[in-house]
Amino acid sequence: MFERMVLLLDTSEVSEAVIPYALHLANKAGSEVDVIHVVEREGPGERLVKAYLDKIVGEIKGPGIKKKRSIILRGKAADQILDYVEKNQIDVVAMASHGHSGINKWVIGSTANKIIRGTRIPVLLAYSKEKVRSSQQTVSFTNILLPLDGSKVAEAAFAYVESILSKQEAKVFLLRVVPSVVGQYAGSPEGYVVDYTEKVMQALQEEATDYLKKTAKSFQEKGILVFTAMVVGYPASEILKYVERQKVDLIIMSTHGRAGLGKWILGSVADKVLHNAEIPLLLIRP
């Protein structure tokens, strides 16, 4: 599923926060890893960039990694990356969610936003304001959170879980947030605020609970340890609270989606989680 990975670095230390997570995923999936930097202006500094990339590639180790290579692209960062991804049949892009700007550096935060919106493949994002991690540091995804809204769009994340977790030690948490009245949308694409009665809210919570039980069963049948939770509130806020309570180390969620009455809009929620979560986030484009 993740046969070819692009690992994006802008040569700053903060961009390196993604490295251990990317390598963990690459080892699990048996990936080829292309370590890429984009040079927007040619100059004498390109030799230093090449040396930097070669050093990172030399540090990449793991029995699951099939190939590794360093690549310099030239031009506008997001455009060059999206073009490379399409032409080389890349399966996943890994990068820091924020970055460092300066001479010969590109702002990975802005680039990340453009890539997320421009690619159809999964994007692994690591929060880069944390203490920079060594590429040799061992990490693992043992507590994986799947936020769900009951839509098929959100369920696109299911297929990626098994390729990431180790059944012996990983836990999967299925979270369904039933939105309160504020911010709830339904109907036409423009949407409108729904004034729920107590009876309607009860029905929505019962439907969400039944959905979680049914979904959990499909994971349990594959030998995956799964936990479920249904809460009422503002989806993004509740997701972030749950991450803290359960010590989640990876969130997998779809980047957009629209469902009907009683469902939340995943695109908006994913965006807020992306900008506030301090753990890795794997974004799936259905």
Residue 192: which pLDDT band, with cuts at 50, 70 and 90?
A: low
Nearest-10 crossing angle of helices 266-276, 235-246: 50
| 272 vs 34, higher pLDDT | 34
Q: For the chain, what's the residue count?
A: 286
The mean predicted confidence, pLDDT, of the chain is 83
- Position 80 scores a pLDDT of 95
Sign of CA dihedral 197, 227, 29, 280: positive
Q: Return the structure tokens found at 153.
A: 């769009």
Reply yes or no on whether the pLDDT at 195 is more than 70. Answer: no
What are the chain's domains?
4-126 (3.40.50.620), 143-284 (3.40.50.620)
Characterize 262-274 residue by residue with b for buried, 16 or more Cβ atoms within 10 angstroms of its Cβ, and e for exposed. Answer: bbbbbeebbbbbb
The model's confidence at residue 136, banded by pLDDT at 50, 70 and 90, is: low
Return d(Cα 90, Cα 71) in angstroms, integer.
Answer: 14
CA distance linking residue 250 with residue 33, whole number of Å: 20
Closest to 285 (Cα-Cα) out of 153, 188, 131:
153
The CA-atom distances, in angstroms, between 61 and each of 1, 26, 41, 66, 162 are 20, 10, 31, 10, 22
Per-residue pLDDT tens for 138-181? Answer: 788 889 999 998 888 888 888 888 778 755 578 999 999 998 75
Q: Are 266 and 169 in contact (CB under 8 A)?
A: no
Binned at pLDDT 50, 70 and 90, residue 201 comes out as confident
- The rounded distance, in Å, linking the Cα atoms of 58 and 53 is 9
How does strand 67-74 pair with strand 32-39?
Answer: parallel
Q: CA nearest 231: which of 176, 268, 165?
A: 176
User: pLDDT (tens digit, 9 = 90+) per residue, 238-247?
Assistant: 999 999 999 9
DSSP notation for 51-97: HHHHHHHHH---TT--EEEEEEEES-HHHHHHHHHHHTT--EEEEES
**More confident of the two residues 110 and 254:** 254
pLDDT value for 267: 65
pLDDT digits (tens, 9 = 90+) for 1-36: 899 999 999 888 888 989 999 999 999 889 999 999
Nearest CA-CA partner of 179 in 206, 149, 216? 149
